[in-house]
């Protein structure tokens, strides 16, 4: 039986160990094997993606005026109607635009109806929807004029009666001449505009804001100010591949894959947002899918890739390590997917996930090495990106049904060992690399390097049981990094931004 502890979702913003935990109550003689429980990644706090609070001010703006607020250019949504851009009735903030024909083949018509509904960055006011246009005005063809003290929209010479066509911009991948990593992809679920943007030592830096989710209504955008975040990363030399997920929901995903009109709507919106925000590509994170939908998933990804390539987008997809799990591993036809995709990202972590009945490492070197070797039998190495964890697990084996105290200063360390051959429960918490530094310093004498696993390991006896941690740090990740050159892989990805220590990117890779 699994007992969930009620905590706030944003566990990674609070101090050490104040995280959502999972306690597995173990029947006798089961500790040597894996408990048959449903995968819990959807509810795992380490993978939680919040909806960003809207920082855009809602105000009623008159006529053609542009109001500058916190670096944003805000206009009345109604004022865009002069360009033929109209808010869709009953869908606040959604406007109708038209997709252009692709540059690669101007005679290729991907859809009979090129119209697409897109959510514009903005906020609902009392009378009107306020639109932030600073970063989206060019593809929408919006012009402005400078008045002595302010900016105003410039009306078109003749009224626009047709739905406007999005204008394609040059979206060229940023390649640096120097960098130890060829590609370094960093996932960003928090999407905070004022967060530090790291200087990663890579030839191609990629940020993947986890901003897009597929729903029965189409694409849901979880950051109403995404364009501002994108602009900040682009100024730092990053390529932008936002993540698109399926909410790890097999029932919804089946419904989507069986609905041709919904699939077309999703793909058209992805192309529309790519043009609106001048994106370089997308990172697809489709997980926990019914095995019987395997071929449908492959075909759907192929449709996304075809449309993306037509508009110059790079499409990558995250996959799990090869295993016998139907929904989480076998559902991926990796060989067929690799033929279509630009890159396949191997999520080489959660070797022992939170639902495991036994404590174990998150990503030991032998397991990662074996996972890569299996993957490159079906995915070309130059298309494979190795995903690395910036987090680990704290495992508390105990005969006491209580959970491990959050404050490690209250842990009562025993001086003598007791037999824990058959503990009755296993309490699991997520530990970020950043937070682990304090714990590492406090219990340094109890920590040793495991040469076989290429991880630091701690086994700490406490009052009612024992704590086990396999640490992910600069040293363990450096060994994983060496696999890139050993197998000539395309690059590395990291889950996730904010879990690393402050100076991590200055020292990695060494």
Rounded to whole angstroms, the Cα distance separating 146 from 418 reads 77
Buried b (16+ CB within 10 A) or exposed e, 236-262: eebbbbbbbbbbbbbeebbebbeeeeb
Q: Report the C-alpha dihedral over residues 363, 369, 371, 375, rounded to 10 degrees.
A: 140
Position 159 scores a pLDDT of 82
- Token couple for 12: 């990674």
State what percent of residues in the chain have pLDDT above 90.
Answer: 75
Cβ-contact 380, 488 below 8 angstroms: no
Rounded to whole angstroms, the Cα distance separating 86 from 412 reads 64
Please check the confidence at residue 18 and state whether its pLDDT lies above 50. Answer: no
425 and 334 fall within a common domain: no
212 lies in some domain: yes
- Token couple for 490: 């395309």
Q: What is the band of 193 on the pLDDT scale with cuts at 50, 70, 90? A: confident
Position 224 scores a pLDDT of 95
Highest mean pLDDT among 112-121, 192-201, 391-400: 112-121
Please check the confidence at residue 5 and state whether its pLDDT lies above 50. Answer: no
43 lies in some domain: no
User: Averaged over 164-174, what is the pLDDT?
Assistant: 90
Query: What is the residue-averaged pLDDT of the chain?
Result: 89
Q: How many structural domains compose the chain?
A: 3
User: Averaged over 119-131, what is the pLDDT?
Assistant: 95
193 and 323 fall within a common domain: yes
Q: List residues bridging with 470 in a β-sheet.
A: 457
Which residue in the block uniquely carries the two structure tokens 């009224």? 159
User: Averaged over 386-395, what is the pLDDT?
Assistant: 97
Please check the confidence at residue 336 and state whether its pLDDT lies above 50. Answer: yes
- 440-464 pLDDT, tens digit per residue, is 999 999 999 999 999 999 999 887 8
Position 418 scores a pLDDT of 55
Rounded to whole angstroms, the Cα distance separating 56 from 125 reads 11
341 and 220 fall within a common domain: yes
Helix (H) or strand (E) holding 295: helix 294-310
217 and 366 fall within a common domain: yes
138 and 240 fall within a common domain: no
Please check the confidence at residue 35 and state whether its pLDDT lies above 50. Answer: no
Please check the confidence at residue 6 and state whether its pLDDT lies above 80. Answer: no
342 and 226 fall within a common domain: yes
**Domain boundary residue, one of 136, 153, 170:** 153
User: Averaged over 261-277, what is the pLDDT?
Assistant: 98
76 and 196 fall within a common domain: no
- Token couple for 273: 């947002």
Position 26 scores a pLDDT of 53
216 lies in some domain: yes
State what percent of residues in the chain have pLDDT above 70.
Answer: 89
User: Averaged over 154-182, what is the pLDDT?
Assistant: 91
Render 209-238 in DSSP notation, one character per residue: E--EEEETTEEEES-TTHHHHHHHHHHTTE
Rounded to whole angstroms, the Cα distance separating 497 from 413 reads 33
Helix (H) or strand (E) holding 495: strand 491-495
56 lies in some domain: no
User: Is 96 strand, coil or helix?
Assistant: strand
175 lies in some domain: no
40 lies in some domain: no
Rounded to whole angstroms, the Cα distance separating 7 from 23 reads 13
User: Is 284 strand, coil or helix?
Assistant: strand
Number of CB atoms found within 10 A of residue 311's CB: 21
CATH code of 314's domain: 3.20.20.80
Q: What is the band of 9 on the pLDDT scale with cuts at 50, 70, 90? A: very low
User: Averaged over 380-394, what is the pLDDT?
Assistant: 98
Position 415 scores a pLDDT of 59
Q: Which residues contact 219 (CB under 8 A, 6 or more apart)?
A: 212, 213, 244, 266, 269, 270, 273
240 and 354 fall within a common domain: yes
**Domain boundary residue, one of 153, 169, 203:** 153
Q: Which residues contact 28 (CB under 8 A, 6 or more apart)?
A: 422
Number of CB atoms found within 10 A of residue 177's CB: 5
User: Averaged over 49-70, what is the pLDDT?
Assistant: 93
Top-confidence residue, 14 or 274? 274
Position 404 scores a pLDDT of 84
- Token couple for 462: 């406490």
Please check the confidence at residue 184 and state whether its pLDDT lies above 50. Answer: yes
Rounded to whole angstroms, the Cα distance separating 491 from 485 reads 9
Rounded to whole angstroms, the Cα distance separating 191 from 210 reads 8
Position 31 scores a pLDDT of 35
Rounded to whole angstroms, the Cα distance separating 269 from 259 reads 16
Position 48 scores a pLDDT of 87
122 lies in some domain: yes
138 and 230 fall within a common domain: no
Query: What is the greatest pairwise CA distance in the chain?
Result: 86
Range of the domain at 418: 2-26+395-471
Beta strands in 147-269 (DSSP E): 151-153, 181-188, 202-209, 212-215, 218-221, 238-240, 243-245
356 and 428 fall within a common domain: no
454 and 383 fall within a common domain: no
Q: What is the band of 322 on the pLDDT scale with cuts at 50, 70, 90? A: very high
Q: What is the band of 29 on the pLDDT scale with cuts at 50, 70, 90? A: very low
414 and 292 fall within a common domain: no
- 408-441 pLDDT, tens digit per residue, is 888 877 755 555 566 788 999 999 999 999 999 9
**Domain boundary residue, one of 153, 170, 199:** 153
Between the alpha carbon of residue 168 and those of residues 137, 138, 139, 141, 316, the distances in Å are 12, 9, 6, 10, 21
44 lies in some domain: no
Give the CA angle between residues 429, 433, 438 to the nearest 5°. 85
Render 102-113 in DSSP notation, one character per residue: PSS-TT--S-S-
Position 408 scores a pLDDT of 84
């Amino acid at each position: 039986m699994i007992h969930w502890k009620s905590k706030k979702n944003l566990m990674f913003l609070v101090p050490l160990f104040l995280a959502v935990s999972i306690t597995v109550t173990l029947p006798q003689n089961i500790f040597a094997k894996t408990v048959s429980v449903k995968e819990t990644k959807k509810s795992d706090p380490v993978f939680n993606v919040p909806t960003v609070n809207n920082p855009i001010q809602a105000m009623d703006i008159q006529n053609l005026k542009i109001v500058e607020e916190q670096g944003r250019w805000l206009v009345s949504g109604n004022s865009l109607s002069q360009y033929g851009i109209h808010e869709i009735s009953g869908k606040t903030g959604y406007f109708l635009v038209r997709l252009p024909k692709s540059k690669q083949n101007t005679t290729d018509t991907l859809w009979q109806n090129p119209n697409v509904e897109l959510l514009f960055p903005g906020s609902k006011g009392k009378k009107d929807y306020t639109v932030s246009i600073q970063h989206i005005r060019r593809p929408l063809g919006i012009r402005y004029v400078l008045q002595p003290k302010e900016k105003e929209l410039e009306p078109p010479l003749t009224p626009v009666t047709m739905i406007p066509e999005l204008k394609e911009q040059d979206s060229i991948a940023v390649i640096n001449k120097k960098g130890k990593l060829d590609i370094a992809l960093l996932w960003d679920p928090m999407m905070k505009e004022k967060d530090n943007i790291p200087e990663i030592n890579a030839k191609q830096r990629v940020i993947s804001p986890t901003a897009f989710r597929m729903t029965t209504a189409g694409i849901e955008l979880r950051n109403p100010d995404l364009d501002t975040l994108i602009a900040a990363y682009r100024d730092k030399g990053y390529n932008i591949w936002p993540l698109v997920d399926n909410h790890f929901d097999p029932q919804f995903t089946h419904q989507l894959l069986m609905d041709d009109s919904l699939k077309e709507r999703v793909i058209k919106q992805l192309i529309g947002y790519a043009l609106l925000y001048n994106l370089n590509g997308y990172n697809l994170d489709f997980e926990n899918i019914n095995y019987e939908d395997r071929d449908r998933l492959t075909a759907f990804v192929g449709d996304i890739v075809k449309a993306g390539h037509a508009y110059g987008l790079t499409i990558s997809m995250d996959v799990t390590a090869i295993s016998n799990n139907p929904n989480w591993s076998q559902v991926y036809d990796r060989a067929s997917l690799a033929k279509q995709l630009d890159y396949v990202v191997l999520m080489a972590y959660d070797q022992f996930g939170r639902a495991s009945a036994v404590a174990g490492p998150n990503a030991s070197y032998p397991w990662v090495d074996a996972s890569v070797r299996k993957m490159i039998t079906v995915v070309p190495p130059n298309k494979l990106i190795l995903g690395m964890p910036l987090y680990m697990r704290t495992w508390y084996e105990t005969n006491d049904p209580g959970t491990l105290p959050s404050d490690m200063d209250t842990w009562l360390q025993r001086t003598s060992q007791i037999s824990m051959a058959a503990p009755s429960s296993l309490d699991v918490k997520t530990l970020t690399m950043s937070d682990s530094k304090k714990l590492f310093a406090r219990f340094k004498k109890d920590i040793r390097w495991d040469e076989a696993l290429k991880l630091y390991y701690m086994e700490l006896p406490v009052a009612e049981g024992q704590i086990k941690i396999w640490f992910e740090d600069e040293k363990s990740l450096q060994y994983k990094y060496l696999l890139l050159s050993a197998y000539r892989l395309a690059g590395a990805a990291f889950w996730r931004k904010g879990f690393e220590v402050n100076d991590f990117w200055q020292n990695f890779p060494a």
